[in-house]
Amino acid sequence: MEKNSKKKDVIVEIKGYFRDDNSVDSAEVSAKGVFMQTPNVFTLLYDECSMQDNRVTKTMVQVWGEEKVVISRMGNAPSQLIMEKGKRHLCQYGTEYGSCLMGVSTQAIQSDLTDNGGRLYFKYMLDANASKISENEVTIQIRECPNE
């Protein structure tokens, strides 16, 4: 961590919508995390616990304004998604069955993050072998933990 970063304990609320050709699904996650700002990037770190097997996935979200978002997951299914508006990246996507290479095409990134938290929204499409798998929208709300 850089010397001039500001580190805060936060509450993270994530809402996601996922559409494929046959269905629409949604998910909501709430967790405690750590949020920090350095001169060029906001970084959010949090642990996500699987409801199926109680395994913990460490997640890091890095945000460069409305230009770029990188989501890295460490644990049983490591992955890294790189999102840049108007670009397609090939990314490692981990699943419980193994890892695969996916295309990530980003349509929108909106951020009003400050050193106190805020809201991040991004919309992207996942593809494999140039065939669309799903269209996804994610909103991350970050707020400081209340004083205990």
* 7-23 pLDDT tens trace: 899 999 999 999 998 89
Overall average pLDDT of the 103-114 stretch: 95
How many helices, marked H, and strands, marked E, lie in the chain? Answer: 0, 10
What does the pLDDT average to over 21-36? 92
CB 10 within 8 A of CB 143: yes
In a domain, 55, yes or no: yes
Distance CA 57, CA 49 (A): 6
Q: Is residue 96 part of a domain?
A: no
Task: Over range 46-54, report the average pLDDT.
Answer: 74
Q: Specify if 91 maps to a domain.
A: no
Name the band, by pLDDT with cuts 50, 70 and 90, for residue 50.
low
How far apart (Å, rounded) are the C-alpha atoms in residues 57 and 75? 5
Residue type, 87: K
Range of the domain at 37: 6-79+109-123+136-144
Q: Say if 87 falls within a structural domain.
A: no
Tokens of 91: 């990314």
In a domain, 129, yes or no: no
Q: Does some domain include residue 18?
A: yes
Prediction pTM value? 0.88
Per-chain mean pLDDT for the chain: 89
Residue 94 pLDDT grade (very low, low, confident, very high; cuts 50, 70, 90): confident
Average of pLDDT values for 117-128?
Answer: 95
Q: What integer is the mean pLDDT of 21-47?
A: 93
| pLDDT surpassing 50 at residue 1 | no
pLDDT: is 141 or 74 the higher one?
Answer: 141
Q: Classify residue 86: in a domain, yes or no.
A: no
| CATH of residue 42 | 2.40.128.20
Total domains in the chain come to 1
